[in-house]
Amino acid sequence: MGLLGRLLWTLGTACVVTVGATGAADQQVFSVPLDASGSCTMFWRVDYARRTLQVEIHAVLPERAWFAVGFSDYGEPSPADYCVLWQDWRGRTRLQDSWAEGGRLRVEGRQHCKDFRHTRVGNVTKFTYSRLFDTCDPHDYVIEDGTTHVVWATGAGPLFRLDGVSLLGEGTRRGMQRAQLLKNTNVDEGVPADAWTLDVRAARVQVPAVDTTYWCHVAKVPRQLARKHHVVKYEATVQHGNEGLVHHMEVFHCEAPVKEQVPLYRGPCFAATRPDATKVCKRVLAAWAMGAKPFVYPKEAGLPIGGAEFNPYIMLEVHYNNPENKSDWVDSSGIRLTLSPTLRPHDGGVMELGLEYTDKMAIPPGQPRFQLTGFCIAECTEVGIPVGGVRVFGSQLHTHLTGVRVVTKHVRGGRELPELNRDNHYSTHFQEIRRLKRHVQVLPGDALITTCTYDSRPRPNVTLGGHAITDEMCVNYIHYFPKVDLEVCKSSVSDASLQAYFRLLHELDGQATGPHLGVSDNYKTVDWTPVRAHVLSSLYAESPLAMQCNRSSGARFPGDWSAMPSTSILQPLPAPGRHCANLHHQDHDHDHDLDDDAGPEHPDAGGLMEDWGQGDTMKWETNGPN
C-alpha cells in the first residue's frame, strides 16, 4: 500500500477518485480534496491520445450506499452530469450514466460510463470506469481545458431503481470542488544542481470561523537574494490535514524602491488595519490553486528575483475555504520557490493584457452574461516587442467575483490564430498560473484580445472596474521569454466617447447623468434596464480605445494613445470539430440493456487498476486500502 493509500485508510471516512490513462506522458497522477475536511480526495490521469478519462473511486461508505460523481457548469448539483454507483435490492451493484434535472437523477438511454469494475474490501467500496472528454450526448458535460467543477453526492441504499433519486433529499451528502482536469502532462520538472528552496509560509494562522478568508503575510527575503537568481520552479507546501482548507495561494513582490521598508503585516487582506504601505505588494511571482502540480519554467528561462535593484519584501496571500465555519483550524501552508544562482539564457517576464483598472468600464446589474473586452493592439506590440518576438509559455486569467468566462484571442494581420488561453467555466476562487500545452510566439504587430464574461444578476447596482474585490477586472497575466520592456498592454473606452454617452443618456433618455458628475457617480445614477445595458455594450464595442502601452517603469511608449482603433478579426478561426458521427457509431456497437450494467466484481483487488487486468501501463503512484 502506498503512502497516500495508508493515509486515506486512516481517515475513516475517506473517498478517493482516481483517474488513470495510458501512454508515457499520461502517467502523471493529479489530486484534489473534494471536501473541506479532506475525507474525500480526487486523483486523476488523462489519456490525450484516446481523449479519455479512466476514473477510479475508493470510498468508505455504508453498505449499499449510492455514490454519484460528475460535473456541472459552475458547481451546482443540478443540472449536472453524473456517473452513479448504486446497489439494487438483490444486492447487484451497478454504474449508470445519469443527468440531474430539478435535483433528481435521470438515467441516460445511452451509457457513457464504460469499463465498469467494482469491489468492496472491508468498509471500502472501489469502482472504476472510463469516460470520453466529449461524448457528444446533449446531457453530458464536455470536459475542456480550463476549470472543471467536480460535483458529488452520496446517500443511503439499496434502491429499486436509480431514476428519480433526489440529490437534495434528507440524509444526502453532496459537495463541489474545482480543478483543471486536462493538465499539461509534458513538463520536465528537473532543476539545476545548485538550486535551493525558499519557503514562503503562513505562521500558525488561527483561521477565522467564516466561509472565506484571504490572509496576507509579508516577509523579507534572505540575504542570498542580494545576488540575482532565477526562480525555476514553485509548488505548494500545504500543511498536512489542511488540504481541503487551503483553496489557493499567491506570492507577490512588493514593488517599492529598493531601500524602502514594508511593514511585516500578518492578517486578513481586506482588514481596515492592513497598512497602506503593503498595497504595493501586487506583482505576481507565483500562483497555486487546488489540484495544481509544481509550476516549472522552461529550460530557456527563469523568473528574475533578487539583485541590487530588488526590494527585498514579498507577500503571501492565502485563500482559506471554510464552509463549515470551523473555529479550530490552524494553518502554516505556503509556497516553496526553487531558486538558482546560475542564470538561464533568458529572463522570464510577465505582461498584463486585458482591461485597464478603471471605473470607465462597468457592468450593469441583473445581467446573466455581460462581456467586456480589453485590447493589446498591433500598434503597441510593434513598438514594445522586438523583431524576433516573444514566446508565451504560461497564463493566469483573472477577474473578481462576477467573472464566469475568460478567453484571449491572438490576431495577426486580421487573421485569427489559435487562442492563447480560454476558460469557459472560470471562477475567481480557482486561480493558478497554467503552463500552456504549446509555446505561443507573439510577433511585433500581433494583437491579443481578452474578453471576460460576467454574471451580475446578484448585484443590486452597477459594478465598476477597480481594485476592490467587489469591483471587477479582466486580465490575463502572460508569462513569456525573453523579457522585454513592454509590461502593460491594456485598454479602456476612450474618455471622449464615455462623456458623449453620459450626455446623450441625459438629453435623450432623461437620466440624471452629466459632466457635473464623476465617472463612478454617472454610472451609479443610471436606472439600469436591459435596453440601457445593451446600449452600453454597443458603446464599448464601437468606441475608440484609450490604451495603456506601458514600459516596465510605468511610463507609456511615446505617442498619443488616447483614441486608438480597436482590432478587427477579418478571418475568424473555424470552430473545432467534434467527430460525433464516429462516436455515435461506436455507441451503437456497444449499446446494451441497462440491466447489463452491473460490472464484474473483483473481491481480491487490493490495489488500483493494474490489479484488475488493465495491463502493465496502469502503474499507479498510490495504492488504496487493502
Return the percent helix, strand and coil in the chain, to nearest 5.
15, 40, 45
User: Which of these, 268, 283, 289, lies nearest to 32 by C-alpha position?
Assistant: 289
Q: How confident is the model at residue 187 (pLDDT cuts 50, 70, 90)?
A: confident
Q: Are 213 and 268 a contacting pair, CB within 8 Å? A: yes
Average pLDDT over residues 373-395: 97
Q: Kindly report the backbone phi and psi dihedral angles of residue 126, in degrees, each rounded to the nearest multiple of 5, phi listed first.
A: -125, 135
Tell me what pLDDT residue 589 has.
46
The Cα–Cα gap between 66 and 174 comes to 12
Respond yes or no: is residue 346 known to be catalytic: no
Higher pLDDT, 39 or 150: 150
CA distance 491 to 544: 10
Checking if the pLDDT of 566 tops 80, the result is yes
Q: What is the pLDDT of residue 60?
A: 81
Identity (one letter) of the amino acid at 624?
Answer: G
The stretch 190-194 carries a mean pLDDT of 90
Band (482; pLDDT cuts 50, 70, 90): very high
Of 149, 247, 248, 398, which is the active-site residue? 398
Q: According to the model, what pLDDT value does residue 598 have?
A: 62
Residue 362: closest CA among 496, 510, 522:
522
116, pLDDT greater than 60: yes
Residue 494: CB atoms within 10 A of its CB come to 18
Q: Where are the alpha helices (DSSP H) in 543-622?
A: 580-590
Residue 295: CB atoms within 10 A of its CB come to 25
pLDDT of residue 3: 31
Taking 80 as the threshold, does the pLDDT of residue 611 lie above it?
no
Cell matching residue 365: 446589474
Number of Cβ within 10 Å of residue 403's Cβ equals: 23
For 67-79, write each residue's pLDDT tens digit: 999 999 999 999 9
Of 74, 214, 429, 506, which one is the catalytic site residue? 214
Q: What is the pLDDT of residues 73-113, one digit of tens each?
A: 999 999 999 999 999 999 999 999 999 999 999 999 899 99
Contact 507, 514 (CB under 8 A): no
pLDDT digits (tens, 9 = 90+) for 7-61: 333 333 344 444 333 334 557 777 777 777 667 777 888 899 999 988 887 778 8
Residue whose entry in the numeric block shows the C-alpha cell 470552430? 575
The grid coordinates of residue 457 equal 444578476
Task: For residues 218-243, give the mean pLDDT.
Answer: 94
Lowest pLDDT segment from 297-301, 316-320, 466-470 = 466-470
Q: Quick one: pLDDT at residue 4?
A: 32
This prediction has a pTM of 0.83
Nearest to 59 by CA among 155, 125, 119: 125
Q: What is the DSSP string of 494-524?
A: -HHHHHHHHHHHHHHH--S--TTS-HHHHHH
DSSP-based three-state secondary structure for 278: helix
Euclidean distance between CA atoms 355 and 449, whole angstroms: 10
pLDDT at site 356:
95
pLDDT value of position 596 = 43
From the list 545, 423, 366, the residue with the least C-alpha distance to 143 is 423
Which of 70-74, 287-291, 430-434 has maximum average pLDDT?
70-74
Over range 598-608, report the average pLDDT. 51
Treating both helix axes as pointing N-terminal to C-terminal, what angle do 530-542 and 495-509 enclose, rounded to 10 degrees?
A: 150
> Is residue 186 within 8 Å of residue 49, measured between CB atoms?
no
Residue 364 has a pLDDT of 97
Residue type, position 427, single letter: S
Q: Which three cell numbers stand for residue 367?
A: 445581467
Q: What is the mean pLDDT of the chain?
A: 87
What is the percent of the chain with per-residue pLDDT over 90, rounded to a whole number?
67
**379 membership: H or E segment, kind and range:** helix 378-384
Task: Please report the pLDDT score of residue 468 as a whole number.
Answer: 76
Q: Which contiguous run of DSSP H or E holds residue 231?
A: strand 229-237
Which residues have C-beta within 8 Å of that of residue 626, sequence separation ≥ 6? 1, 5, 121, 606, 607
214 is catalytic: yes
153 touches 172 (CB < 8 A)? yes
Q: What is the mean pLDDT of residues 186-199?
A: 90
Task: Evaluate whether 456 touches 523 at the Cβ level (below 8 Å).
Answer: no
Kindly state the average pLDDT of the residues 414-429: 95
Whether 124 has a pLDDT exceeding 90, the answer reads: no
pLDDT of 199 above 90: yes
Domains of the chain: 30-179 (2.60.40.1210), 196-345 (2.60.120.310), 349-551 (2.60.120.230)
Give the tens place of pLDDT for each residue, 303-316.
999 999 999 999 99
**What's residue 186's pLDDT?**
86
pLDDT at 366 over 90: yes
